[in-house]
Structure 1
Amino acid sequence: MPATTSDYNSFIMNGVDVKQGEYPWMVAVMSKVAEDSFIAWCTGFMIDRRHVVSAAHCFENTNPRRFSARIGDIYYNNGTRYDVVNIVRHASYSSPLYYDDIAILTLDRDVQLPGFNPVCLPDSELEKQSLVGSGATVVGWGASRLGGDMSLVLQQLNSVPIVSNRDCNRAFRQMRDSFSQQFPRGITAGFICAGFPEGKRDSCSGDSGGPLMVRHRNRWFVVGIVSFGYECGKPSYPGGYTRIAYYLKWIQRVLQKI
């Protein structure tokens, strides 16, 4: 996620480097700081050759000219650059809350890179599963420690246990007033949570918008979007993700309109 003063941040701690070409759908979302000068900002993933899914909270400024995308390399500054021509955030997203934390970016042209393919959205079988207890993989360019810079090389964290929304809600309720202010309805069906009870390994700043994925029928399916977490890797606090299955119809409607 971009720099923030919120208690709830998201990045990869204690992950491992991704191999070149391993996840060809990954997108480094860049933010403009000067004319033709961009810095690493958030993470995203391709769901077809033209559209990127990311987190809505990465785009408080929805002017597409403020952003670009780099695709096709594990080093975020080496990927092929694409201009962003349109940004659609979920209409119900409202900062500083994390409900409906999903956005779709349209690129200026199709991605035609060698070896490229988009990640799969949940099929009808996965859509119906809670996935609690499953091991998931999260990928991003986020910082390796709280307050650190984004990682130059794409990182992955494997076998992250998916936990129930009930347990996730119980964990964050310990934050009391802070949690109630940003999650007044608690952890709803639009979220999916995953994390190691002992902490230390987690998604963190810069990973926002990146995919939480599961392997199903020998293919990668995205089931969540990196959204929030507490102090990155804090024991007993799982990471919070936007649940893709909950927003499949919204994604389809947006793609039909743009």
Structure 2
Amino acid sequence: MAAPRLALAPLWALLLLLAAAHALPSPEGRILGGEDATATEYPWTASLRHNKAHTCMAVIISNTQLLTAAHCVSELGTTPVAASSLGVRVGSINQYAGGQIVNVRSVLIHPSYGNFLHDLAIVTLSEPLVYTERIAAAKLPSKVEEAGEGEGEEEVSTELPHNTPVYVAGWGAVSDGSAPYKLQKANYNTVSAPFCELAAGYGYASTLCLSSAAKEGICSGDAGAAVIDDDKVLQGITSFHFADCGSSYPDVASRIYYYLDWIEANTQGA
């Protein structure tokens, strides 16, 4: 369930939030105007292919399963496209060649998916992957122990702190509108839920917002990409961008910690 919207705050508090939001540092090297990734830098990255063409990104989380954005594999709502029409290319930074293409056995879309909320799906492969230096699973976040009732402990926040550096790699459109053949890597900073609510009306507990300067950010073909932190932990799956690619609005990802129970209940040892 999404977090409730922010309550009305005094004008001075809103002004402070707005000033801080505009003071976000501008990370360098986005996918829209990013830079080439090296062959072993993002081994969990896969090209999700529909009818043999790259459409979205996917993230390896076990030798048989990947995560992607639900809208990339949705026929209508939570009904997925035919698994036989899908495949993934793994082990290559070239979306057109190298590595291997593996067929898909099944697709499971999050049951609450709709209107880009809960934009997450699990893709199960027809055969297990063999891990190499170019093919590996991303690490999921660890669960935080909840304080017991009456223990007097404060609740621990599982949200990434505002302005946390994170990293994304994808084959989405670049600044001239073309699709790159080589994987592009990008640096981002997270935007906390209150700031994202203020900037875009999107401060949900299930989402992770990413700061984006003008003419920089995720673009067509980048949905489903991994959002990785400095510890190489999978913190999000990219979902969508507001307005045109590289607008001043935050880009949006699904926050993996929010979905850990669902992922673990529907994957094999991920």
Q: With the length of structure 2 as denominator, give the TM-score of the two structures.
A: 0.77
1:164 pairs with 2:179: no
Please, which moves more after superposition, 110-119 or 77-86? 110-119
Letter in structure 1 aligned against 2:180:
S
Aligned-pair RMSD on alpha carbons? 2.0
Counterpart Cα distance in 2 of 1:20 and 1:240: 26
Query: 2:195·2:203 contact (CA, 8 Å) conserved in 1?
Result: no
2:180 is aligned to 151
Letter in structure 1 aligned against 2:71:
H
Structure 2 alignment gaps of length 5 or more:
1-29, 145-155
Counterpart Cα distance in 1 of 2:268 and 2:60: 16
- Look at both structures and tell me which one has the larger radius of gyration over its CA atoms: 2
Give the counterpart of 1:245 among 257, 260, 264. Answer: 257
Letter in structure 2 aligned against 1:214:
D
Count of residue correspondences: 221
**Cα gap change, 1:127 to 1:119, in 2 (>3 Å):** farther
Counterpart Cα distance in 2 of 1:245 and 1:87: 21
1:60 pairs with 2:74: yes
Counterpart Cα distance in 1 of 2:131 and 2:224: 22
Query: 1:72·1:113 contact (CA, 8 Å) conserved in 2?
Result: no
Counterpart Cα distance in 2 of 1:164 and 1:26: 25
1:207 pairs with 2:222: yes
Cα displacement string for residues 94-135 of structure 1 (whole angstroms, at most 9, x for unaligned residues)? 2xx111100000011111143232110112369824332211
1:137 is aligned to 167
Structure 1 alignment gaps of length 5 or more:
1-10, 33-37, 174-185
Query: 2:172·2:219 contact (CA, 8 Å) conserved in 1?
Result: yes
Counterpart Cα distance in 2 of 1:223 and 1:199: 24
1:4 is aligned to none
Counterpart Cα distance in 1 of 2:180 and 2:160: 31
Query: 2:228·2:234 contact (CA, 8 Å) conserved in 1?
Result: yes
Counterpart Cα distance in 2 of 1:151 and 1:53: 22
Cα displacement string for residues 62-107 of structure 1 (whole angstroms, at most 9, x for unaligned residues)? 210111000000001223010001000001112xx11110000001
Counterpart Cα distance in 1 of 2:228 and 2:132: 22
Q: Which runs of 4+ in 1 moved over 6 A?
A: none
The aligned runs of 1:1-258 (5 Å cut-off) are 12-32=31-51, 38-61=52-75, 62=80, 63-78=82-97, 79-94=99-114, 97-115=115-133, 116-124=135-143, 128-145=158-175, 148-158=177-187, 160-173=188-201, 186-196=202-212, 198-216=213-231, 220-230=232-242, 231-235=244-248, 237-255=249-267
Query: 1:199·1:233 contact (CA, 8 Å) conserved in 2?
Result: yes
Counterpart Cα distance in 1 of 2:65 and 2:157: 21
> Secondary structure at the residue paired with 1:227?
strand
State percent identity of aligned pairs.
29
Counterpart Cα distance in 2 of 1:227 and 1:240: 6
> Secondary structure at the residue paired with 1:255?
coil
> Secondary structure at the residue paired with 2:189?
strand
Counterpart Cα distance in 2 of 1:191 and 1:102: 11
Counterpart Cα distance in 1 of 2:161 and 2:86: 34
> Secondary structure at the residue paired with 2:230?
strand
Please, which moves more after superposition, 223-232 or 50-59? 223-232
> Secondary structure at the residue paired with 1:132?
coil
Q: With the length of structure 1 as denominator, give the TM-score of the two structures.
A: 0.80
